[in-house]
Amino acid sequence: MSRPPLIGVLALQGAFREHVRMLETVGAMASEVRLPKDLLGLDGLVIPGGESTTIGLLMEKNALMEPLRAFAREHPVFGTCAGLIMLAKDTTDGPQPLLRVMDITARRNAFGRQLHSFEAPVELTLAGVAHGSMRGIFIRAPWVDDVGPGVEIIAEYDGRIVGVRQGHLLAIAFHPELGDDTRLHSYFLELVSAHRN
């Protein structure tokens, strides 16, 4: 029997402990990532929420930007909230450090500032199959303004794109790790498993 997948969680800022808990709930082993050496041996990576400009600056300070780009080209990565922004090729909000590995344009704080945080049902479509709704927890959340031809829309709320997949890369505008619905983390592990085989 093969070992469970080993998933790194970028632990520079944000709700990384909640992602660790959720990954362990769905059967993965989880490891915190702060330095390039922490990427060695991982099967996948989660980039959690937080403040995207700060996360980008911390990536640069810890010499993680290029190692993360290289990792994302070869391994599944799951970005949530600020993680979605970090994976994007561009934002509508001016220059900032980005990994630029997904063909999407993100709009930061698209639903408003912290005091405009809310919960609402999000419609999920995974692997081309409708999966009903999921409670989306939106905290200073982005949305996806524009997608390239190779990007699949997997989550929508109020006519806005709040979840996308491009090959082995997954990005969600809300915080599934703060709820108890494990479907997106399980789906990410399916991508990891397919990539390992």
Q: Which of 19, 75, 168, 175 is catalytic?
A: 175
The torsion of the CA quartet 109, 111, 117, 118, rounded to 10 degrees, works out to -150
Instruction: Say which of 81, 119, 185, 195 is annotated catalytic.
Output: 81
Among the listed residues 18, 168, 177, 185, the single catalytic one is: 177
User: Is 81 annotated as catalytic?
Assistant: yes
75 a catalytic residue: no
Give the tokens for residue 67: 């190692």
The gap from C-alpha 155 to its chain's centroid, in whole angstroms, comes to 13
Amino acid at 144: V
18 included as an active-site residue: no
Q: What residues act catalytically?
A: 81, 175, 177
